[in-house]
Structure 1
Amino acid sequence: MEELKKIREDLNINGPKPVYFLMGTEAYLIDQAVAYIEKNAMDEAQSAFNTHILYGKEVSIDQIIGLAKQYPFGSDRQLVIVREAQHLSRTIDQLISYVQNPQPSTVLIIAYKYQLLDKRKAIYKALSKNDAVVTFNPLYDNQIPGFIEQFVKNLGWHINPQTTHLLHSYLGTDLGKIHKELEKLKLVLPAGGTLTPQLIEEYIGISKEFNNFELKKALAERNTQQVMRIIQYFYQNPKENPFVVTLSIVHQFFTQVMQYHCLNDHQPKTVAAQLGINPFFVGEIALGARNYPMKKVSLVLHSLRLLDLKGKGVGTQGFDQEQLLKELVYQVM
């Protein structure tokens, strides 16, 4: 996200660069960067005749350079966008002559997804010398709630931490999926509205009662009956509730409970800062610590690691999701 912010700020202050080489494994952020540069690098009236979109599978480096060296039509600038440029990985070095002497009236955007250039290569060094390389890596799991909150804010809506984490627990770290699902709500939620669990359940399909967020809450309370109800819903709906996601969230929760036990200062602000969580969730962690002594948490974490191996088929002939979920409850409760 910081990389995208830097592109926006630099373009707004200094104007567009002659070359952008956008690479990395976070394809969604690369697409967002391309879209922002395309929209803001030149006037809309001029862009119609001066925006050229190419695809790596369909063009050669020579064709890209040839087009980039042309002069714009009725404008002082043209855009040349190369999407899916990773398909040019074998010949990308041939771009070096252009990078070293780019056409001043052209903004060349290379979207090089899912891969990284070798930093030892001359093409990387030439691009870096011109400050053209921007690397987009996936967000860490703990950065996703902030992404959701900012995205919702940009849409003109309000959201509370509980709803944010409900979305996070269901949609995971796939930024494109989060974007797509939230875009659905533009038809029903006006600007200034509040995103609620009820809207999410109705239009995105997340159960507000049976989800990983509520499972974590029930585990903190050590509410065996509610945990069993949620687990039953999970193994009856395995596609919407994959075991690997549930196990990851439960493991994260008990890791945070263990960290809480190890802290000397249990003031909410201190706990939130040390654990890297929203203060809204400190109470849940504290409740978990009261209900699970440190020794029990240590045993739970060990059991969860063994269960992870079972889920991957290590040392077993295979477990179905129902068996794995039931064993998870047995080991924790």
Structure 2
Amino acid sequence: MTFQNILADLKAKKYAPLYLLHGEESFFIDQITDYIEDHVLSEAEKGFNQTILYGKETDFITIVNSAKRYPMMAEYQVIIIKEAQSLDWNRDASVSVLNSYLENPLNSTILVFDYKHGKFDKRKKTYKLFQSKGVALEANKLYDNQVAGWITDYCKKASYRIQPEAAALMAEYLGSDLSKIVNEIEKIFLNTKSDKEISTDDIQKNIGISKDFNVFELNKALGYKNIFKANQIVDYFIANPKSNPPPLVFGSLTTYFVKVLRYHYSPDKNRNSLAKVIGVSLNFVDEYVAAGRNYSKWKVFQIIHLLREYDMKSKGVDNPSNLTGPLLRELVYKILH
């Protein structure tokens, strides 16, 4: 089941007796756990029927004994095991106690395991029991090219609209940590009316990312070969190194020119086809078409090689001074000329 399916079932009060929530993306795990913790039982019912345990402080016998109890003056009892990855899953004797319960779980108990920062071993009998008797969700991190679309969908579900440029800017600077992204989005929601489209101005005002001088705009300036704008942005980066750290800048430039290379290798230059091949929304296709015309396939190969070379130099390789400002200025000159 997907995250959306599980959440929809929970909101419809369709509860499973078992939940195994595992994977690298803690945001999805927390969202489901928080919903169960906050909504399945009323405040009056929680006192006797809701138990929160932690993997480092409990064991399978305690968990199973708790799960076998019947609810008091409520339809369900809820047991949530947080940090479940800290349980001793390698002790067969202990795990067999859990497996015996998983084979025949009580329908009046909702047992939730939060297994974070890694994937549960799907070869184990325990995993197969969670799958067959309850719900198992693998919460994977989003790929970088999925983040902007996720931000757009998140805003839409909250009855807000966001400009594609603003979503892309957030994705570029905040990365793929969804909890961090949501915290920043919520700041914007607090200061923006829902009938107003969230713009790059709102991003700058509420998050502090410059709407004119950022890696997103540097990519665009290079793509269109706007020499004046590109150098303006480089000057800003050199003056504000903490806001634009070299790993972010070099990483973003590399990603950008790899996408330009995809344009060159796409046999179909139709805008819809290009959007899929490049991995961007239709709003940005024209920019990559322009970049593809401004930089030949072989020039793009050369640029990607330069980016790797200068990224290493920014880390001190063959560059004892480790001054990234002059390096960035030199790199941008070589890209444009």
Matched ranges for 1:187-198 at <5 A: 187-198=190-201
Q: Deviations over 1:156-183 (max 9, x none)?
A: 2111211111111111111111100111
Q: CA deviation at 1:316?
A: 5.4
Matching residue's letter, 2:126: I
Alpha-carbon distance in structure 2 between the residues aligned to 1:302 and 1:59: 52
**Alignment-derived partner of residue 76 in structure 2:** 77
Q: Which residue of 2 aligns with 1:38?
A: 37
| Partner residue in 2 for 1:128 | 131
Deviation at 1:216, TM superposition (A): 1.1
- Higher alpha-carbon deviation: 146-155 or 224-233: 224-233
* From 109, 114, 117, the counterpart of 2:117: 114
Cα distance change, pair 8–297 in 1 and its aligned pair in 2 (3 A): same
**Contact 1:217 1:284 (8 Å CA) reproduced:** yes
Tell me, in whole angstroms, the C-alpha distance in 2 between the residues paired with 1:157 and 1:31. Answer: 23
Structure 2 counterpart of 1:296, one-letter code:
K
Alpha-carbon distance in structure 1 between the residues aligned to 2:45 and 2:260:
57
When residues 305 and 155 of structure 1 are mapped into structure 2, their CA distance, relative to the original with a 3 A threshold, is same
- Quickly say closer, same or farther: Cα 1:124–1:318, change in 2 above 3 A: farther
Question: Distance between the aligned counterparts of 2:41 and 2:75, measured in 1?
Answer: 9
Secondary structure at the residue paired with 1:7? Answer: helix
Pair 1:208-2:220 in alignment? no
What amino acid is aligned across from residue 283 of structure 1 in structure 2?
D
Partner residue in 1 for 2:240:
237
SS of the residue aligned with 1:289? helix
> Structure 2 counterpart of 1:52, which letter?
T
Asked if 1 retains the 8 angstrom alpha-carbon contact of 2:214 and 2:233, the reply is: yes
The SS at the match of 1:254 is helix
1:179-328, aligned counterparts within 5 Å? 179-313=182-316, 317=320, 319-328=322-331
- Is the alpha carbon distance of 1:288 and 1:155 closer, same or farther for their aligned partners in structure 2, counting shifts above 3 Å? same
- What does residue 5 of structure 2 align with? 6
Query: What is the CA distance between 1:112 and its match in structure 2?
Result: 0.6
Shift of 1:261: 2.1
d(CA) in 1 for partners of 2:326, 2:126: 52
Distance 2:131 2:183 in 1: 33
Cα offset, 1:39, TM superposition: 4.3
Q: Deviations over 1:203-233 (max 9, x none)?
A: 1111111111111111112122221221232
Q: Which structure 1 residue ranges, 4+ long, deviate > 6 Å from structure 2?
A: none
- Structure 1 residue ranges without an equivalent (≥5): none
Counterpart contact for 2:17–2:134, Cα < 8 Å: no
Sequence identity percentage: 38
* Partner Cα distance (1:177, 1:13) in 2: 28
Structure 2: tracts of 5 or more residues without a match: none
Tell me the distance in 2 between the aligned counterparts of 1:328 and 1:249. 14
What amino acid is aligned across from residue 167 of structure 1 in structure 2? M
Q: Could you tell me how far apart the structure 2 residues matched to 1:63 and 1:239 are?
A: 49
Deviations 1:15-64 (A, max 9, x none): 11111011111111111121233345455664454222222223222222
Q: In 2, are the aligned partners of 1:85 and 1:113 still within 8 Å (CA)?
A: yes
1:103 is aligned, of 99, 103, 106, to 106
Range 234-243 or range 167-176, more displaced: 234-243
Structure 1 counterpart of 2:68, one-letter code: K
- Residue 255 of structure 1 aligns with an amino acid whose one-letter code is V
Q: Normalization by structure 1: what TM-score?
A: 0.90
Q: Over aligned residues, Cα RMSD in angstroms?
A: 2.4
Answer yes or no: is the 8 Å Cα contact 2:161–2:194 preserved in 1.
no
Task: Give 2:28's aligned residue.
Answer: 29
Cα distance in 2 for partners of 1:16, 1:328 equals: 56
Residues 66 and 214 (structure 1 numbering): CA distance in 2 closer, same or farther, change over 3 Å?
same
Match of 1:60 in 2: 59
Equivalent position amino acid for 2:19 in 1: Y
Relative distance call for 1:179 and 1:14 in structure 2 (3 A) is closer
User: 1:287: Cα distance to partner?
Assistant: 1.3
CA shift, 1:262, in A, is: 2.6
Pairs aligned (count): 332
Shift of 1:14: 7.9
Output the CA distance in 1 between the equivalents of 2:39 and 2:72: 18
C-alpha separation in 2, matches of 1:129 and 1:324: 57
Q: Give 1:102 deviation, angstroms.
A: 1.6
Q: 1:156–1:193: 8 Å Cα contact kept in structure 2?
A: no
Shift in alpha-carbon separation, 1:135–1:312, aligned structure 2, 3 A: farther
DSSP-derived class of the 2:56 partner: coil
Q: Per-residue deviation at 1:237?
A: 2.6
